[in-house]
């Protein structure tokens, strides 16, 4: 099998981020709340998927797309993840800008698709209804800026710790996408009420400008906090775990016919 070209890797990141935004944010916009009139009871019944369903939607998009294209690009789908694994020396810094651009563009296409489809519902208004992230009056439950920054830093650090650990050569082979997807689900279950959960600057950017209602002005927080959290995880993973795999690659660039896709390590090579 040939090593994926940079164009193929970027296309995989674009596609994966598109699916993440369309599936995750789309679930929040289209399916989180659905009130069905109950003629007998005389009141509406909530048939939507709620917070739990949205959390699962985000986790499942990462899980499924990691299996679909992770062997091509490494399945980052997130600028913070790309920066985090580069900080951990598991990814080339020279490739970071291209990955981030591909992710942001893929996310924006996902946001555009949600906006376009949602317009098919009579009376729908995009303002405040695009699953944007926010703090203060734009937090789902009015959490402060400080609380949101702290949440996003911690949650993103946890996410990147799991990514770095699950893609290590000594982790069970083939299960990394499951661990990563379930971690993202858990993070959403905890943090949706706080910030609507970002941990991904591309996801936040994808819907902020469609949403309006203060989201564009608060977007900076959902770039700064996830990147800080990811960088902390990347810089400390080998110190916290004692597992130093900083000479390996999870970009998907390695030929999977020669090495393990999970982290680019030859399973027969001497281990430190």
256: in domain: no
> Residues near 247 by Cβ (< 8 Å), separated by ≥ 6?
89
Say what the pLDDT of residue 270 is.
39
Q: What is the CATH number of the domain that holds 137?
A: 1.20.1080.10
For residue 240 the two structure tokens come to: 């916290």
234: in domain: yes
Say what the pLDDT of residue 269 is.
41
263: in domain: no
For residue range 54-72, list pLDDT tens digits in order.
Answer: 999 999 999 999 999 999 9
Query: Which helix (H) or strand (E) segment is 44 a member of?
Result: strand 43-46
Domain count, the chain: 1
Q: Rounded to two decimals, what is the model's pTM?
A: 0.88
Query: Does 142 score more than 50 pLDDT?
Result: yes
CB count in 10 Å sphere of residue 253 = 19
Say what the pLDDT of residue 249 is.
65
- Max distance between CA atoms of the chain, in angstroms, equals 70
252: in domain: no
For residue range 220-252, list pLDDT tens digits in order.
Answer: 999 999 999 999 999 999 898 876 766 666 665
- Classify residue 38 as exposed, middle or buried by CB count within 10 Å of its CB (0-12, 13-18, 19+): exposed
For residue range 158-187, list pLDDT tens digits in order.
Answer: 999 999 999 988 888 899 999 999 999 999
Can you give the residue range of the structural domain that contains 146?
6-241
23: in domain: yes
CB count in 10 Å sphere of residue 162 = 19
Report the residue count for the chain.
Answer: 272
Query: Residues 216, 108, 139, 122: what is their CA dihedral angle, to the nearest 10 degrees?
Result: 100
């Amino acid at each position: 099998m040939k090593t994926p070209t940079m164009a193929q890797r970027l296309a995989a990141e674009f596609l994966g981020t598109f699916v993440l935004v369309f599936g995750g944010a789309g679930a929040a916009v289209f399916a989180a709340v659905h009130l069905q009139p109950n003629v007998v009871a005389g009141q509406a019944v909530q048939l939507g998927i709620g917070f739990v369903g949205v959390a699962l939607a985000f986790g499942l998009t990462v899980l499924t797309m990691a299996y679909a294209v992770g062997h091509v690009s490494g399945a980052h789908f997130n600028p913070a993840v790309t920066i985090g694994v580069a900080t951990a020396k598991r990814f080339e810094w020279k490739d970071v800008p291209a990955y981030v651009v591909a992710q942001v563009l893929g996310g924006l296409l996902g946001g555009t698709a949600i906006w376009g489809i949602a317009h098919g519902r009579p009376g729908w208004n995009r303002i405040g209804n695009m699953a944007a992230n926010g703090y203060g009056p734009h937090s789902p439950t009015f959490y402060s800026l400080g609380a949101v920054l702290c949440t996003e830093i911690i949650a993103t650090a946890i996410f990147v710790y799991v990514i770095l650990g699950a893609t290590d050569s000594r982790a069970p082979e083939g299960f990394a996408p499951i661990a990563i997807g379930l971690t993202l689900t858990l993070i959403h279950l905890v943090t949706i009420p706080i910030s609507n959960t970002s941990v991904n600057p591309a996801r936040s950017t994808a819907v902020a400008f469609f949403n309006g209602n203060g989201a564009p002005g608060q977007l900076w927080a959902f770039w700064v906090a996830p990147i800080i959290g990811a960088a902390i995880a990347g810089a400390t993973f080998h110190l916290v775990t004692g597992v130093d795999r900083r000479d390996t690659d999870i970009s998907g660039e390695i030929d999977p016919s020669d090495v393990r896709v999970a982290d680019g390590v030859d399973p027969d090579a001497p281990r430190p």
